[in-house]
Amino acid sequence: METIFIIDYIALGLLVGFMAGLLGIGGGGIMVSIFAILFVMQGFPSEGIMHMALGTSMATIIFTSFSSMIAHYKKDNIEVPMTLRISVGVLAGTFIATFIASYLKGVYLALFFSVFMSYIAYKMFRKAHYYHNDNPHGIVGNIASGTFIGAISALVSIGGGSLSVPYLMHQNFDIKRAIGTSAAIGFPIAISGTLGYLLNGWSHTDWNHYIIGYIYVPAVVLVAISSAFTAPLGVKYATQLPTDILKKVFGLLAVVLSIKMLFSVI
């Protein structure tokens, strides 16, 4: 790998770590877009670039979500029974969706990703209002919702927070407990998704370029390590910087990057 790409991946990790700590997001929306762009620049085969971007992002989220989960557990922000119920659905939905993704052309995955990130940007700009739900879901509803959250998360390679936090708040969770529980749900999403992209992409493995399945190992290592340095910094400034404005900036950045990625893949 050329030095310029090593610098690019480290810089991406620093950005993702800071945003993860600041806004409580996994950074998948940023990682997938930039991974796809960098993979094109590195000259990887075009037909597998989008799949590699999704798989590599999912593998990276294992590390970012685990550290977030541990931090929230120490602060007693995780509702363990709900986490276990949703995780049952998440594990199945995420794993199955990776099989679907492996059969889709990269351009369709890129298009779906771009549309989804536009939806996330819309959510970043609007102020959500939650009311007490007199009929929260039971176990079956939690598992079914987890399956849906896991499936969408696998197709766009995110930790699921943009879906699970609103769902948990609709189940009458306060915001702090919703974010903490969502962080815990993100870990099984990442584990299941990584395994799925690893198995489904096994025929694309290229040991000479450190590609295992649909996962580009050097990118995972560099981004995961560098993000660990800036995540605490993001947490530190979470209460000092104008979060509402930063969310809007993140939303716009995600859309711009996803459109750029779409054209790169095409």
Following DSSP, what letter does each residue of 33-81 receive, concatenated? HHHHHHHHHTT--GGGHHHHHHHHHHHHHHHHHHHHHHHHHHTT---HH
How many angstroms separate the CA atoms of 8 and 11, rounded?
A: 5
> What is the predicted pLDDT for the residue at 199?
94
Stretches where the chain sits below pLDDT 50 are: none
At CB < 8 A and 24+ separation, what contacts does 3-8 make? Answer: 5/38, 5/41, 5/42, 6/218, 6/222, 8/34, 8/38
> What is the predicted pLDDT for the residue at 24?
60
> What is the predicted pLDDT for the residue at 233?
80
> What is the predicted pLDDT for the residue at 100?
92
Closest CA to 18 of 246, 176, 189: 246
> What is the predicted pLDDT for the residue at 56?
96
Are the CB atoms for 24 and 186 separated by under 8 Å? no
Are the CB atoms for 182 and 164 separated by under 8 Å? yes
> What is the predicted pLDDT for the residue at 189?
92
> What is the predicted pLDDT for the residue at 6?
94
> What is the predicted pLDDT for the residue at 21?
67
Q: Decide the pairing of beta strands 215-216 and 211-212.
A: antiparallel
> What is the predicted pLDDT for the residue at 257?
75
> What is the predicted pLDDT for the residue at 214?
95
> What is the predicted pLDDT for the residue at 114?
84
> What is the predicted pLDDT for the residue at 65?
81
> What is the predicted pLDDT for the residue at 235?
66
Quote the mean pLDDT of the chain. Answer: 85
Residues 6+ apart with CB under 8 A from 76: none
> What is the predicted pLDDT for the residue at 26?
63
- The residue ranges of every structural domain in the chain are 3-265
Closest CA to 264 of 59, 44, 117: 44
215 by DSSP, 3-state: which? strand
